[in-house]
Each structure stands twice: as structure tokens, then as C-alpha cells.
């Protein structure tokens, strides 16, 4: 019985070790530069096929890490949405977009690799699709976008798409740069994660409310 109960525990421990190693290596070197063998070795696995055995393809591994991150931010965002209700203040909705991720990163402490991992994933088109798909599958994210867009009725559809892409890049790379600076002990633009949230929300509100110039 002891062996039978330990086997699932050992498998879970192995999966966690692989996920942690993969996130760190992908963040530091890029997804395409890291092999399954390197991940297995960093996770302390003698079996070089451990990654494939537990997760399948590299895309499946990335999806698992992204899904874990999304699950951890989902409850934070749902609580914020419950607090703002049907707010007519764009800042409330943009805060729901930004703050769950920032609160999550702040809770991870230093060092962390999650923001840099997300940034690296966005550089690979096929994996970026995985990231967007998993993020938008979260009910809280869909509700946040619906609330934002309700307050921006005059924007043409193509501008919506364009500014949505800009917003994603701004959030991802701002957070990744701060995480990197904290890890390296380098200066940061803002002294705290809270101040970072305020600055990022300000910038995104300015982005979404910027005038639209018609090009002929």
C-alpha cells in the first residue's frame, strides 16, 4: 500500500519539477532554444524522455504552464469583477485586466520567471496563439473585455484589434522587464508592483482613449 500511494505523489512531484524547470529555462533562453533533454536534466530526471512522457509535445508543455498561470489569476480577477459590478469607469475595467497578473507576480517574490516566460512565448506565433486561446478561455477575461468595449463604442473594429494587440504587448513586456530587473538587482521604472500597476493602467487608458486618425 505504501508503494501504491507513493507512486501518484512521485508522478506529481516529477511533473511540478519539470514545469518549474521548463518555465525557468524558457524564460532565460527562449522556447526554441531549450530541448526536452535540457528540461529533464534541470528537473533532476535521469530519463531524457520524461518531458514527452508527462506532457507530450513542447506546445502541450507550454499550454500546461500557461493554463496554470491563468488558473491562478482567474480567482483574483473574478473578485475584482464582483467589486466593480457594472461600472462605467474605464479605469475599473483596465485595472481588472492588469492587476490580477501584477498581484500574482508580486506574490511570487524574487526571483520569478513567469513574466519572462510569457514574453518569450509571445515571440513564437504558434505558441502565442496558445497563450491567447488559454487567456481568452477564462470567463473573467471575457467579461473584462466586454466591460471595456462597452465603454468604447466608437472605435472601428480594426482599431479594436490593433489596440488589443498593443495592450497585450505593453502588459507582457512591461511586466517581463520589471521581473528581469528585480532578478538582476537593476533599477526599475517604478519602486513597487503597486506603482507599476498604476502606471500601466494609466498608459493603457491613454492608449484606448487616443484619437483615431483616418488614413486615406
Burial class (CB in 10 A: 0-12, 13-18, 19+), 187: exposed
Check pLDDT > 80 for residue 154: yes
- Structure-block grid coordinates of residue 158: 480594426
What residue segments make up the domains of the chain, in order of their start? 1-56, 67-209
- Structure-block grid coordinates of residue 21: 524547470
Mean pLDDT score of the chain: 93
Place of cell 466593480: 84
Cβ atoms within 10 Å, residue 57: 11
| Average pLDDT of the segment spanning 112-134 | 95
Which CATH fold would you assign to the domain 1-56?
Answer: Arc Repressor Mutant, subunit A (1.10.10)
Distance CA 58, CA 64 (A): 10
pTM value surpassing 0.85: yes
Distance CA 95, CA 180 (A): 23
Does residue 93 contact residue 144 with C-beta atoms inside 8 Å?
Answer: yes
Q: What is the pLDDT of residues 128-153, one digit of tens each?
A: 999 999 999 999 999 999 999 999 99
Backbone angles phi, psi at 124, to 5 degrees: -110, 110
Q: What is the pLDDT of residues 11-64, one digit of tens each?
A: 889 999 999 999 999 999 999 999 999 999 999 988 878 999 999 999 999 999
Amino acid at each position: 500500500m505504501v508503494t501504491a500511494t507513493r507512486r501518484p505523489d512521485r508522478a506529481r512531484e516529477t511533473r511540478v519539477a519539470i514545469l518549474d524547470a521548463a518555465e525557468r529555462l524558457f524564460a532565460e533562453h527562449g522556447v526554441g532554444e531549450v530541448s526536452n533533454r535540457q528540461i529533464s536534466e534541470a528537473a533532476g530526471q535521469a530519463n531524457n524522455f520524461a518531458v514527452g512522457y508527462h506532457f507530450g509535445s513542447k506546445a502541450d508543455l507550454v499550454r500546461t504552464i500557461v493554463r496554470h498561470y491563468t488558473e491562478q489569476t482567474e480567482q483574483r480577477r473574478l473578485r475584482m469583477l464582483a467589486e466593480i459590478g457594472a461600472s462605467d469607469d474605464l479605469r475599473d475595467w483596465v485595472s481588472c485586466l492588469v492587476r490580477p497578473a501584477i498581484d500574482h507576480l508580486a506574490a511570487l517574490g524574487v526571483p520569478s520567471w513567469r513574466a519572462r516566460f510569457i514574453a518569450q512565448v509571445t515571440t513564437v506565433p504558434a505558441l502565442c496563439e496558445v497563450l491567447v486561446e488559454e487567456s481568452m478561455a477564462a470567463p473573467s477575461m471575457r467579461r473584462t473585455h466586454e466591460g471595456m468595449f462597452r465603454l468604447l463604442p466608437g472605435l472601428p473594429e480594426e482599431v479594436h484589434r490593433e489596440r488589443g494587440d498593443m495592450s497585450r504587448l505593453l502588459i507582457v513586456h512591461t511586466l517581463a522587464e520589471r521581473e528581469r530587473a528585480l532578478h538582476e538587482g537593476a533599477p526599475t521604472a517604478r519602486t513597487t508592483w503597486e506603482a507599476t500597476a498604476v502606471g500601466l493602467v494609466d498608459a493603457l487608458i491613454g492608449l484606448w482613449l487616443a484619437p483615431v486618425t483616418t488614413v486615406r
